Every structure is written in C-alpha cells, then in structure tokens.
Amino acid sequence: MQNAFAPHETDFREWVESGFQPAKPETAAYLRFLADPDDELMPRPGGLWRHQWDALLRVAYAREVAGRLLYGDGVLVNIVTGGGKTALIAATMVWLRLAHQVHRFLILCPNLIVRDRLEDDFHGGKVFIERDLIPPGEVVSASDFALTTLGGDSKSTASNLFGSNVVLANIHQFHQNSKTGQGNLARFLDMNQTPFAIFNDEAHNTPAPEYDRTLETLAEHGSMKYRLDTTATPDRADEQPLDSKMIFEYDIPAALADHVIATPHVYQPSIDVVELTYTDANSGETRRVEEIDWDEVDRKGLTSTQWVTDTKPMSQQIEIACNRLKEAKVHANGRYRPILFVVAVCKADAKKAQAMLEGQFNLRTLLVTEDEDDSARKEAADIAKKNKYDAVVSVAMLREGWDVPEVAVILPLRKMGSKVYGPQIIGRGLRRVRRPDISDDEPQICAVVDHPKLDHGWLWDLLQAKIEKNVGVQQEFDALKELPEPKPRQEIVNNDLIIEVPEPSDDAGDFEPVVVEDSADPSRDWRSLLGGLEYSSENVEITDQEIVEVTGQELGADGWKKHLSAPEGMGAITLGDLSRDDLAESIRQQVKAISGDATTRHGYSMIDQRWVYSASLRHIEQKFLREESLAYAGVEELRKAFQSLRQLEMFLLQRGDIVGGMIEYADD
C-alpha cells in the first residue's frame, strides 16, 4: 500500500519547523506540550516515542492543513507490532477533545483478543497517565476518557452507550445483519448530535461487507468528525486496498534500527531423505518411491503441513524449539520468564504438540483453541503475570492483539501463506520486554523454528531475519553474540523525485487456478460451482521423514563444522494406520482449518468461519461419502475424502467469490 503522505513531506517539515503554523491554537499548544522543550522537532522524554510523535504530527497536519486533499474519509497509520498504536490513539483523542471539541470516541476492533488488550490499556485512564498525554491545568482529565466496554465480562450493556465517552466494542456488535447490532448502532448514534470520532483498530480486517456497511453508516452520520485507522499489516487478506489513506508508515526495518522490536532469528532443521507413498484414490493401488527429490514432492501437491505434523518431525522440531527456549532463559537471567509459542493448523495437532511438550519435555503448556472457554483466552492474556506456563499452543486464536513480550520462541506447525497472517504470527514475538532493569538498547531476539518445506522465505525477507540453516536438535547457539547490527533507518530526502506507482491489481495469488465453469453471479451460485469441482485421483502422503544432523558454523575466517546424530524419533504415522474414527476426526479438523484460512484470506472475520465449514463439510459428504455424514461413512470413502482435502483447500483459497457466497447466501 502506498504512502499518500510522501508528496507532502517538504511542506510538512516546513510546518513543523514553523511551530505548527497554520493550525488551530489548541493544536499548536498541545503539540508543544508533547514536544521536547529543548527541541520542538522531537518528543518530550517520557511521553510519546519518536515514531508515535511523528505519526501524531501527520495526523494533525492531514486534518488541519492538507484537509480533504489528504484526509478524505479517513487516514491510516501503519505501525509495526510492538510499536505502540494504543498510545497514538490516546494522544489523538486528547487532541480532538482539546482542539475540535469531540467528546465521544468509538474504538472498533475485530476480535476478543484485541478488545481485551485495548480494555487493559484504557481502563482507568492507564495509557493517558503512564504516557503523560494530558496537559496540566486543562479542563480535560483522564476521567473524561472513562471506558465502556461492550460485551464480554464487562457489566456494560447496550444502555451504557448513552452518555459514554469512550466505547470499546467488537465490530460484530455493530453489524446491521442482526437486531442486536442494529440496536447498538442506533443507540450510539442517537446522542443529540454529540460529535464523535472512530478509531478502527487492526484496519486490515475491514473488507468483510458487513464491516464496510457499519463504517459507512457511521461515516454518513452528521456527528462523525474523524476516523483514524491503525494496523501493523496494511495488506488486506483479500489483497484489496483499504478505503482510508495511509499517511504514516513505521515498518519492521525502521523499528529494528531504532531497537523498538526484537530481532527475528530463524532456525531451519536439516532434512534427510523423504520416503513417500503414492496412492490412487480410485483403485487404492500404492507405489513406494524411495529417495525422491523435493521437486517431485512439490509437483505432486503434498500438503505442506504434513512435513511438520507427523509424530517424528514434530517431536524433533519441538526439541529444537525447546533448546532455543533454554537459551532465552539464560539471557533473561531470572528477570522474566521466556515463553514458547506453538501455532498449529488444527486442534488434533495442537493437542499432540501439547502432549509432547508436557510429556517429553516437561514444559507446562496452555492450550488455546476456539473450543476452549474464555478462561483459556484470558489465561493467555495474563500468562506473563501468572508466571506458571512455559509454552502456549494455539489454533488460529492468538494473533493480532495478543501482546505478550515474554514470547521468545515461535514454532509454526503450519504454512503461513498469507501476507497478513504470517507477519501477525511472528509479530507475537517481536514486542520487546520492557523493565527498569532492561536498557532500551539491550539486544533481544525472537527465535523462530521454521521447517524449510513450509517455504517461508518471503516472510524472512520481509522481516530481515537472520537464518540459521541445517540446524539439528542438539545444536546450541549464542545468538546474541552473532546478532548483526540492524540496517540504518531510511528517511525520505528528495520528496520532489517521488513517483506515484499505480497499485497492482488482478493478483492471482500463490496458487495454480482451479478451473470451474463460472456463472453470471458466482457468489449466489456457489453451490453448483463448488459441486462442479473435479478432483484428481492421485495423492501423496508422507511415510517417513527424519532430521538427521546438526551443522553448526562459527563466524570466523575459516569457520568450523561439527555433526551430531539426531535422537531416535517416535516413528511415523501413515494414512493406513488411522482408524475409521481417527480418519473422520482428522477430516473434521482439517476442514475446520481450511475454512478458517479461506475465511480470513478473503477478508472475513473468523466468526464467519462456521458458514464455510458447514458448506465444505456438506460438499465432502456429497462428493465422497455418498451423502453420509462423517460418523457413518466407510473407511475407503473417508480415505478418498482425506486425500482430496488439499485440492479443496486450493480452490477455496483462490475463490473469494465462492467463500463470500458461502457466508452471505448461506440461508438462501
């Protein structure tokens, strides 16, 4: 996404150097309060961080100087995970209250995890007080920003929307496709034309049509005076542009240069020969091929997560991650408790990982999935305070909003193909641990154990991560000694040379097209289009895989290498080993994971996953199970269905219109 502010940089700098003129007197006074008394170009120590200050200046300039030319219907600020978007939101609230007489604020967020984090930051005026954002002697105080949280454990109800200064809500509580959402929206807007502002946090989640309709209704109301979108991942899941203009970008390279975030450090296991079994789904004939090359595996379309979730490779990767956790504990030196974060594709894999972590490695592990009650989610939010867990295993739950600086090691047991999902997951480990006994320039790393077959090179390039290849289970590292200095922060110098490049369009994504004859309205006709999907009969499964050695190399003139044998694994599991019930449960969990990925990739909320899941499961019953449910289908039918899930996944990930139809026309 392009930075719309770039052509304004020269005029903006002159505006800052002139003492914020022209601007409303209240705006200039507030900015001078936040500025360093000895250098008005920099923020006051103990207040906003430099990039937060830079963002606030652009927010004010876009509204009061550039006006509609830049502001439009709203502005977007892109600040990396761990960069403190909440403090910017709070400072903007104070500015709007002082300079524009805006008295009501609505903070919208996409899920409960984000809502819990925002509630903690704003409760009791915490962020205003800790960051010293309210000038002394003003008629405004922290109590004027009292928070009302709608839903959850909060005792606030829809009636509390009347008279509330700051309302925090999940966007779904204002969706107009339900009576509850319609009522909440009407109550909020029926406030005698009291001016209000919208803060759309994690704005990349907005493409779902109901989300858009809610924002449009709010924007069209005469009392709506301002909208600020914030995000750490401006690319939408459906690869469409956001409707607000990005005016500030503080990305990972800049945050690394400023020591604002931890440095990502990737460890990739060493892989030996892979043994495969080719199975014809129609005849049941199997052909064993030994020592096949990786390219051949790729051509056969093997599901990437199989490389990491079979028992033996999962155990070995967990051991590598546990060794990284031990190293993190040495660095923490008792000041805090580092945490291992494991990301699974389905609940079955998550439980398997939890059992290994607790049984083999003696790590107390918290499991967080959508099937758990709210206590697990809240336990995860407070995990560092309670200081009793070493690891957390999650299935599509702990993404944006779960901010635990103590996360020191991440193990993805799934492919992260989305430009939104990948940075969100790794972002859980980028937040620095901040304590009085830890200096701002003390090196901190986020260790990621990444199976090379997951093909995450694009993500490591984006994060400027250092990569250790051919890592074995017993290898030790002193990563902090080998940590390279971040690249210098880049600044725009010659603004007059900036050339606007049109935004790309018609991006085909990462998948080969699955050809299905289209109709005039694919969304409404999604059932027949999905039913017309033709499946290839040949599939591939892993029968064995092994991490066999450690290859370590010291940074020196000549270097050195040593090889260590890997421990005995726990054996591999093949499709033929699974019972009928195990097959049915595996299909159910895989369809749930596929549905979740397809739902979020195309810009819908995880709450809409249920429609995609039920539609996909019904499709499988019709296509493979002779209209039987999973509970009553035969073993052979279940095997054929299981082997075809990858093709269904590819189809749903590339067809946003079909997924949209599943969600929006589910009741037709």
Query: Which pLDDT belongs to residue 560?
Result: 37
Token digits of residue 27: 């705006």
Establish how many alpha carbons lie within 13 A of residue 339's alpha carbon, considering only the half-sphere containing its beta carbon: 30
DSSP 157: -
Residue 44, classified by CB atoms within 10 Å of its CB into exposed (0-12), middle (13-18) or buried (19+), is middle
Query: Which pLDDT belongs to residue 60?
Result: 93
Average pLDDT rounded to a whole number, residues 271-279:
60
Q: Quote the CA–CA distance of 616 and 530 in Å, as a whole number.
A: 9
Preceding peptide of 22 cis, ω within 30° = yes
Average pLDDT rounded to a whole number, residues 393-398:
75
Average pLDDT rounded to a whole number, residues 237-250:
74
pTM of structure: 0.70
Task: Give the least confident one: 195-199, 400-404, 527-531.
Answer: 400-404
Query: Which pLDDT belongs to residue 510?
Result: 42
Same fold flag, 71-257 and 263-482: yes
* Residue among 187, 180, 170 nearest 221 (CA): 187
Per the listing, tokens 């250098």 go with 39
Average pLDDT rounded to a whole number, residues 112-129:
86
Query: Which pLDDT belongs to residue 485?
Result: 65
Q: Quote the CA–CA distance of 408 and 337 in Å, as a whole number.
A: 9
- Per-residue pLDDT band for 557 (boundaries 50, 70, 90) equals very low
Q: DSSP per residue over 572-637, as a string? A: ---GGGS-HHHHHHHHHHHHHHHHHHHHHHTT--GGGHHHHHHHHHHHHHHHHSTT--TTT--HHH
Q: Are 432 and 262 in contact (CB under 8 A)?
A: yes
Domain boundaries, the chain: 71-257, 263-482, 508-536+578-668
Average pLDDT rounded to a whole number, residues 496-514:
44
Average pLDDT rounded to a whole number, residues 564-576:
45
pLDDT of residue 524 exceeding 70, the answer is yes
Helix, strand, coil % (nearest 5) of the chain?
Answer: 40, 15, 40
Q: Quote the CA–CA distance of 577 and 585 in Å, as a whole number.
A: 14
Residue 656, H or E segment: helix 656-664
Domain 71-257 has CATH 1.10.1200.10: no
pLDDT in tens, 23-80: 899 999 999 999 999 888 899 998 999 999 999 999 999 988 887 667 666 888 998 8
CA 95 to chain CA centroid, nearest Å: 30
Query: Which pLDDT belongs to residue 398?
Result: 66
Q: Are 92 and 59 in contact (CB under 8 A)?
A: yes
More confidently predicted of 227 and 188? 227
Kindly report the CATH number that applies to the domain delimited by 263-482: 3.40.50.300
* Crossing angle for the helix pair 656-664 and 645-654, to the nearest 10 degrees: 90
Q: DSSP per residue over 325-373, as a string? A: HHHHHHHHTTSS--EEEEEESSHHHHHHHHHHHHHTT---EEEE-TTS-
Cβ-Cβ contacts under 8 Å for 510 (sequence gap 6 or more): 417
- Per-residue pLDDT band for 506 (boundaries 50, 70, 90) equals very low
Q: Quote the CA–CA distance of 289 and 75 in Å, as a whole number.
A: 56
Q: Are 281 and 640 in contact (CB under 8 A)?
A: yes
User: CA angle, corner 322, sides to 364 and 395, nearest 5?
Assistant: 60
* Residue among 161, 120, 133 nearest 53 (CA): 133
State the average pLDDT for the chain: 78
pLDDT of residue 298 exceeding 60, the answer is no
Q: Quote the CA–CA distance of 569 and 315 in Å, as a whole number.
A: 7
Q: Quote the CA–CA distance of 647 and 131 in Å, as a whole number.
A: 51
More confidently predicted of 113 and 659? 659
Q: At residue 340, what is the residue type?
A: L
Q: Are 590 and 408 in contact (CB under 8 A)?
A: no
pLDDT of residue 417 exceeding 70, the answer is no
pLDDT in tens, 604-658: 767 788 899 999 999 999 999 988 888 889 888 898 888 888 888 888 877 878 8
Establish how many alpha carbons lie within 13 A of residue 609's alpha carbon, considering only the half-sphere containing its beta carbon: 17
Q: What's phi and psi for 25, nearest 5 deg?
A: -55, -40
Token digits of residue 307: 């490389």
Token digits of residue 97: 């209250």
Residue 431: how many CB atoms within 10 A of its CB? Answer: 23
Q: Are 556 and 566 in contact (CB under 8 A)?
A: no
pLDDT in tens, 314-342: 888 999 999 999 999 999 999 999 999 99
Q: DSSP per residue over 428-477, as a string? A: TTTBPP--TTS-TTS--EEEEE--GGG--HHHHHHHT-EEEEEE-TT---
